[in-house]
Amino acid sequence: MMYEYLLAVLFLILVVLLSGGMMWWIRITQKQLKLLLSFSAAYLLSITFSTILPEVFKHGNNVKHHSIIILGGFFLQIILEVFSHGIEHGHYHIHSEKSAVSYVLPLSFSLYLHSFIEGLPLHGTNPFDNLVYWGIILHNIPIAFAYVTLMLGLGVSKKLSWIFLGIFSITTPMGWLAASFLSNFDSILNIHGWALSISVGIFLHISTTIIFETTENHRYNLQKLITILLGFVLGLLPMMIYP
């Protein structure tokens, strides 16, 4: 079991490092990034409604409390995006007039906090059987693309960019570890349910923001619709196979 957890943590880290590292050798177009984001957002939204929400309300002792926490997670993501400038859903804005590090630092802190919170509900689960785990994996790939692309555009050194990316890669496992540690205290009850509720709010904000972003002429093209549909279907497959 410990071997499985270590493998899952290593995979979380490697996905971010490899996805971000690719940006020094491969360029992803805005169109390709948007399609990847649309797919991951549709998958996140699908598992949120089909799997995570039912689990929250099934095991939650107080439905009203969990509803408020979900709303709090949604609002928390709004606050985080004030500092992150939307990097969580693939947005990056290059401001050449600003100092690169002074621009990247608050953005990175917000991104790290976002990633840390996403790791909390992984506690107490079998990671490779957990749809939230795979949702985070899919979500982190386009974020790593956008994060490194932003640092390249700002002229951040390669060494410093790798440091920022490395910290990002371990923040989700750190959230996972923190939840495992907190669960040992009897005074902190149902940490898994609370963490799931916060994640639901965050996932709802991010996924709907991406999905409802349209093209320049405010129309969904067929390619994006098919991509979103595939994400929805993939998220619903476990429920269809194991009702």
Per-residue model confidence (pLDDT) at position 190: 65
Share of the chain above pLDDT 90, in %: 16
For the chain, the distance separating the N- and C-terminal CA atoms, rounded to the nearest angstrom, is 26
Residue 15 has pLDDT above 90, yes or no: yes
Distance CA 142, CA 19 (A): 8
Give pLDDT tens digits for 208-219: 888 876 555 556
Q: For the ranges 4-8, 10-14, 48-52, 100-104, which has the lowest average pLDDT? A: 100-104
Per-residue model confidence (pLDDT) at position 77: 86
CB count in 10 Å sphere of residue 11: 13
Contact status, residue 45 vs residue 204, Cβ threshold 8 Å = yes
Spell out the alpha helix ranges (H) of the chain: 2-21, 30-47, 53-59, 63-84, 100-119, 131-154, 158-182, 191-211, 222-241
Per-residue model confidence (pLDDT) at position 95: 52
**Average confidence score pLDDT of the chain:** 81
The residue extents of the domains of the chain are 2-236
pLDDT, mean of residues 120-147: 83
Give pLDDT tens digits for 61-105: 677 888 898 999 999 888 887 776 667 665 555 555 456 667 788
Per-residue model confidence (pLDDT) at position 90: 57
Alpha carbon of residue 89 to chain centroid: 8
Give pLDDT tens digits for 184-227: 765 555 677 788 888 889 889 888 888 876 555 556 677 888 88
Distance CA 237, CA 154 (A): 41
Query: Of residues 32 and 167, which shows the higher confidence score?
Result: 167
